[in-house]
Structure formats: C-alpha cells, structure tokens
Structure 1
Amino acid sequence: MRYTQGFVSFPDYFQRRTRIQNILLLLLAAFWFIASPAYASKPVVYFAGVSFLGDHRFIDTNYPVATALNKATPEQPQAALDKAFFELLSAQSATLPLLLSRNLANYKSGPAIAMTLAIERESISIETFEDYRKVVAEISAQVLFFDFQAMRLIASIPVDIARNDVINLNASLDKARTDNLTALYQPTSNADNSLLSVASGHIRQFGLPKEGVLRFKVHAVNIGEKASPLVPERVQHDALAQVFGQYFTAQLTHLGGLNMIPYTKGYAIGNKMAGRMANGDVYTLTLPEADYVFTVDISNFKHIAQPNKHLFASRVKFTAKEATRSDAMLDDYFHAAVAKLVSDKQTYIDDWAAYEDALETVLSELAQQLSAPEKKWFDNHSQLKRRTYNTFRKWSEHINGL
C-alpha cells in the first residue's frame, strides 16, 4: 500500500523528478548548443534571393533566361530560383559558416546582413564545324553580402559556370541558347552542374571579412592598339573589358586568396552598384574603397600555325599599386599560349575563341603567382623574369604579413 496522506506518492514523485530532470537536461543542452563556439560564431544572414546587376530598365533584355525562370506567378508566388537556392542552402545548413534566415519582409530595414546571388552575365558563343555547331553557355554572378540598413557592400564571392553542347547545323540557335542557359541555372542530382550548387559550394568555404581587412580591386581592363584589330566586330570593347575584369576578379578571389571588390564597370557609376530583386525592387549598394588596385592592359594576340595544331597567345601588361599612390609596386608584361587541334572536318577556325582561352590562361596563372610566386613560371611567362619574380615574392610576403 502506497503512503500518500499529505504527500506526493513515491512513484509520482520520482516520475515528476525524472520529467523535471529531462526538461533541465534539454534546456542545458540547448544552452550549450547555442553558446558553443561553432554556433555562436556564425553570423545571422538574411536571404534576399536572386537578383540581377545593372540598370533595372535593361534587366529583362540582359538576362532573358534567368528573369523568365525567376518570375513569381499566382500559382507559384515564390520565385523559382529563389526557392531552389534557399532549399539548397538550407539542406547544407550544418556546413554553412552562417545562420540563414528567411525572415526578411523588407530587405531595406533592420540592422543585419543580407545575402543575394546577383547575376551579372549570360552569354552564348558558337563555333561552326562541317556538320555540327559547338555551343558554349556561360553565366557569371556574385554572391553579395551587404548591410541592408546602410545598403553597403560587406563582401562578395564571384561565381562562374559554363556548359558545352553540340547541335546540328539546322537547329535553332535561340532554342540552343535558352536550353543551355536554363540547364546551368537548374540544379539536378549532380552537385556541380548548376550556378546554384557552385555558389553554395563557394559559400560553404567562405568567411565574412573582419573589420579593417585589406581590400583589392581590378580598376580597369584596357584593350591595346595591337590587340584591338584582332577583336571581332561583334565584340564590343566595353563588354570585353567587363567579362575579363569579372573573370580576373574571380581568379584573384579563388586562386589568389584576396578580398576583392567586384569589378563593376558596365553596371555601376562611381562606387555605387545597382541591381534589381526578383520582386522588382531596385537596390543600390555603396562599394567600399580599395586599398590596392590592379590594371590589366591587353597588349596583343598572336597566332602561330603548325601542322594539325595552332598556337594562340595572349600578352598583357599587369600593374598593381596602392590606391592612394601613383607609383606601381608590380609592373610587367606577361604572356601565355594555348594549343588548338585542327580537325579535317573543321570548316572555320575561330581565332577569337582561342585568344580568349589564352587570355584566361595568363590571367588565372597570374592570380596564382600573386599568392605563391614560382621562379620557373616567371622565367617562361614574364618579360623581366627574375626581376619580376623578386618583386612578386616581396609583394606576397608584404600582403601575407599584414
């Protein structure tokens, strides 16, 4: 017989005690989780979706595929790319260096950090052979982190992705453009085959810069007098400078390990960068000032024909200096060449596509050398060889020591 007069029975007492202990343990575990360094060190970042850089009046013209994919409808009020990107990041939340939040009713209010995947370029290039065409689709974007109260850029991650396709000579070029760009935007089971999955991969390896960290910027990309005649008439010089300014910025970020400010010529005025959200809201971000600036002068292209193979070379002048000084810290000419096999069935050799490959090669290798100079590379690819190697080595030691 249980003794209960004036007291809680022993079984009830222990059951209640056990429940209280469980609650306390849960609260303690929750407190430990929130207070743990891995959790506490993660900043809260508000998800602002996919946006488009440039003058809002020309967004639909500049990004026809992305804007068509990312339009909200009464049946689907949440824009498709916004939804897919948020779900992809949420599924990887344990490995992200940030705490992602969707509670952003108005991205212009509140003292917090916001993030948008800002598309900056859609492009298609086509190379014609005897019985088919080769199609290359490319997308460039920036993952922008910004203070949405001050509308000030905090950091950015360049993102690039490309896709090759083959179509027959009678196929619609408009359809090839739409199909290939759509494939780059939409993720499938392959983790590396879409803009969204590549962007999420970069975010997982990213950390917001600390206050006072050095900032770098590609100030200008110029087309020299010898190179200019070799640029096809269909390629505008301003567009070419924008493409390779963005490309070099991406290489300096991912290969050089530098905290880069986006290359903004073509969609920014002064230190203001404009864009448009999927819901039509227009935004303008203030860019931070750079501590160091880079200039690239595309000086020349060269084509050397050999049996069954052609060599295409690009030569650039690269200059680096402190933003507040006129004298250069780094200044030399660099070159690189790529080989292109020629098929008997190829009716047309696209010199320009090969020149672009050579230009990408010299810029990507240059970005690597800024981080870890190799004497042999300078012997083969720079004009002043050892002298330039020594200045790059001193630069690397100086920047890494700050």
Structure 2
Amino acid sequence: MKNFVRALCACVLSTAALLPQAASAQGTQVARVAFAGMAYAGDAASLETRFPFSRQYEKRVEAADTRVDAQIRAAIGKSAPRHFEVLPGLIDELKGRDQALVTSLVINSETVSVETFGPLRKLFVLIRGQALFFDFKTQTVIRSYPLSFAYIDVFDREPTQDDMLARVRSVYEGAAGKPGIFARYAEVLADATIPTQVSRFLKVTDVTVSDAVAASLPAYLKDSPGVAQTWAADMVSEAISTRAGVPIIPYTKGYAVGNVFPMRVSDGTVFNLKLPEPDYAISVDLTNVKKVQFGQAAAGSSFIYGTFATVKVQLPGMGTPYMDSSFKNGETKVVPATQTFVDDFPAYYDSWNALFRRVAEAMAGKDQAAWLKAAASAPDIQTQLLKTKEMIEQCK
C-alpha cells in the first residue's frame, strides 16, 4: 500500500492543472494535481511480456536504492508546471473530494529490436508514452499528451542484454544532450493546462496501412496484428499534440475494451479508466511509399524517400469533414558508394514524421503554404485548414 501511495503521489504531479482550488489572498484559482508516478498501459497480465526491458530497468533502479518516481519528480522540479501546482499529498486525501485530479507518466509501448545488415547489427529502441490526466473520483481520463524517444546504435557484433538495457536506460534518462522520457514528461507538464470547463476531445480513431507501406516496415512493426496501425496512430497523435498544442485521447486499439483504458502502476495497482467519446475523429490512411534516385556521383547516390497519406478530420458519424485531403512528402538521403547495406526504413520514418508534423502545424495555423501547394491534393485545402484550426481551439 505504501508503494502504491508513493506511485499515485507521483501521478498527481503531472495532473496538477486539473484540480482547481483557492490559492491566494487575491482570490485567484490555482489548479492542484496529484502525481501517481510511472504506469503501464494495457492488460496487467501481459505486462512483463510487453515491457520486458522497461521493467528490468525499473527493477535495477530500485536495486540501486532509488526509485524511478524520484527521478521523475526531480525532472519536474527542474521544469515546474506553469499553470497548476503539484501536490505531494497521499492518495487517500483525494477520496471524497468533488474533483480529485491525478497525473501519471503512462508507458504505452516498448520496442527493442535488432536487425542484421551484413556484418553489422542495428539496435533500435523506441519508448512511447503519454502524460495522462484523470479524475480519481470518476476514474475518467480528462486529457492526454503523447510523447516518445527513439535511440539507434550500431554494433559489429550481436548486442547483449546489458547493451540493450543500457540503451533503454538512455531512452528514459536522456542521451547525447537530448531529454529522455522523464524530462519530456516534465516538459509537457510545464506547458499543460487544465480547462476551466469541459473541453472537446480529439482522437485518432481509424488507421489503415496499405500493403505497399507494410512491405516497407521492419519486422517488429508487422509481426503482430494491429502493431503497424498503432505505430501510425501514435505518430500522428504525437505530431498533432506537440505541434498544435492540444491534448488528444490515446489510440487504444488492442487493449481497450468497452472504451476502458487499463493502467497498471508500477507497484501493481490497476486502474480501469473510462475514456471520453471523441468529439472530433481523425482517420489516417498510409497509402504508399516510393524511393526515387535523383543523383549519382563517384562518392555515392542520392535518393528521395516519398511517403503518401490521406488525413480526414470530422465529427464522428457525420458526412461533412473539417479536412479531407491526401498529402505527399519527400526527404532526401545520400548513400555513400562504400556503403554495402542500406536500411530504407529510417529515411521513410523521417519522411512520415515530416509529413505529419507539417500537416499538424498547418492545422494549428502555422504557415505551410509553400509545402501545401505541392503536397496537398484538395484544391480548397486552405479553407479546410481554417475550419480545422477553429476546431483545434475548441479542444485546448
């Protein structure tokens, strides 16, 4: 029970923006949120299978006489939330309140893969998560901000378990001067806001991945049903949340049953949170990829990696969308003549990321006119984006 209390106190820290209470003699209201620590999304029974390296990392940190939650609190201390106050209170103190808001760093997925390219081994680590806010009393998700961190390393041998675990640690704690998952969670909290009234909800609800796109994906994204769709939904959700500055309901295909979001805190306590119905639905269709050589010299060859997608934003069940357009994007990659083995997926991944980042920035009202002129298929894309921007404002 003590471990659970500590974990939930950690979650409150991120959710501080959600619990308004009187805070000053001038009568201003400061939101207060309880921090419940790090948690894992999905079925608790498959936790060790779905997050093997994250769980090993967490256990090693605890064996060193510290806690993951303490590291998260330290990160929050360096980048304190501007719009709410983080409470150190116990979870029991939340019981009986009209509104008791909690935040948690929820880990959605863990990818640790090794691919062989001739004599080389490429290690890829990707952790995706979210800064989740929920009402403790009603057990309802209020808002969520997705986040992620990827790490790539190359070995001239097969990486060991310790090699992989060391890179997972870097993903959580940061590497090469880049903030890791803990710091990114703190950064999200620093800017997160809690609405004074019920806001409207946005969610990626439908994802389609064509056979051509699936063929370009690495094995870890296509070995199991639904993994590629979840990968695409998370990529789109994070782009929109980050670039448009809006929370977004997590994509839950695969572990949400009856619109319930299971969440297991690291001490073993399970929450079954209710997900709100989205007011606005985003559907994404990854339609194609294309690799085109456009230059060659003695030093090597240049390629354009093109990605193609259709994005639709609409009211669920309604016929007239806010936005409905296909987009294309190309990113260049130079392959040295001495390079025998070429992994195309990182270049495609960069192209996908850039495509959805630019779409999200356009949705937020940022100038992407030059790119849209060549990239968007809809002749009235600017009109569509104006309507979409107004919709985005309703979700903040």
Cα shift at 1:56: 0.6
Matches within 5 A, 1:1-400: 34-36=24-26, 40-71=28-59, 80-93=67-80, 95-106=81-92, 109-111=95-97, 112-126=100-114, 132-167=120-155, 169-186=156-173, 192-236=178-222, 238-306=226-294, 307=296, 308-372=301-365, 374-384=368-378, 386-397=379-390, 399-400=392-393
| Cα distance in 1 for residues equivalent to 2:48 and 2:387 | 47
Question: What residue identity is the alignment partner of 1:47?
Answer: F
Distance 1:221 1:349, change over 3 A: same
Distance 1:366 1:47, change over 3 A: same
Distance 1:193 1:399, change over 3 A: closer
Residue in structure 2 matched with residue 13 of structure 1 by the alignment: none
Distance 1:335 1:105, change over 3 A: same
Cα shift at 1:291: 1.1
Identity of aligned residues (%): 23
| Contact 2:30–2:85 (Cα < 8 Å) also in 1 | yes
Count the aligned residue pairs: 364
Gapped regions of structure 1 (runs ≥ 5):
1-31
From the CA coordinates, give the structure whose radius of gyration is larger: 1
Distance 1:320 1:91, change over 3 A: closer
| Cα distance in 2 for residues equivalent to 1:223 and 1:189 | 33
Question: What residue identity is the alignment partner of 1:118?
Answer: V
Cα shift at 1:74: 9.2
| Cα distance in 1 for residues equivalent to 2:46 and 2:127 | 17
Question: What residue identity is the alignment partner of 1:383?
Answer: S
| TM-score, normalization by structure 2 | 0.82
**Structure 1 residue ranges (4+ consecutive) displaced by more than 6 angstroms after TM superposition:** 72-77
Q: Which moved more, 1:64-73 or 1:273-282?
A: 64-73
Cα shift at 1:233: 4.9
Question: What residue identity is the alignment partner of 1:242?
Answer: T
| Cα distance in 1 for residues equivalent to 2:176 and 2:217 | 39
Question: What residue identity is the alignment partner of 1:203?
Answer: L
- Greater length-normalized contact order (CA 8 Å, ≥ 6 residues apart): 2
Question: What residue identity is the alignment partner of 1:41?
Answer: Q
SS in 2 for 1:258: coil
| Cα distance in 2 for residues equivalent to 1:317 and 1:107 | 47
Cα shift at 1:117: 0.5
Residue in structure 1 matched with residue 7 of structure 2 by the alignment: none
Residue in structure 2 matched with residue 4 of structure 1 by the alignment: none
SS in 2 for 1:331: strand
| Contact 1:158–1:253 (Cα < 8 Å) also in 2 | yes
Cα shift at 1:208: 1.2
Gapped regions of structure 2 (runs ≥ 5):
1-21
Q: Which moved more, 1:305-314 or 1:79-88?
A: 79-88
| Contact 1:52–1:59 (Cα < 8 Å) also in 2 | yes
SS in 2 for 1:34: coil
| Contact 2:57–2:165 (Cα < 8 Å) also in 1 | no
| TM-score, normalization by structure 1 | 0.81
| Cα distance in 2 for residues equivalent to 1:200 and 1:358 | 28
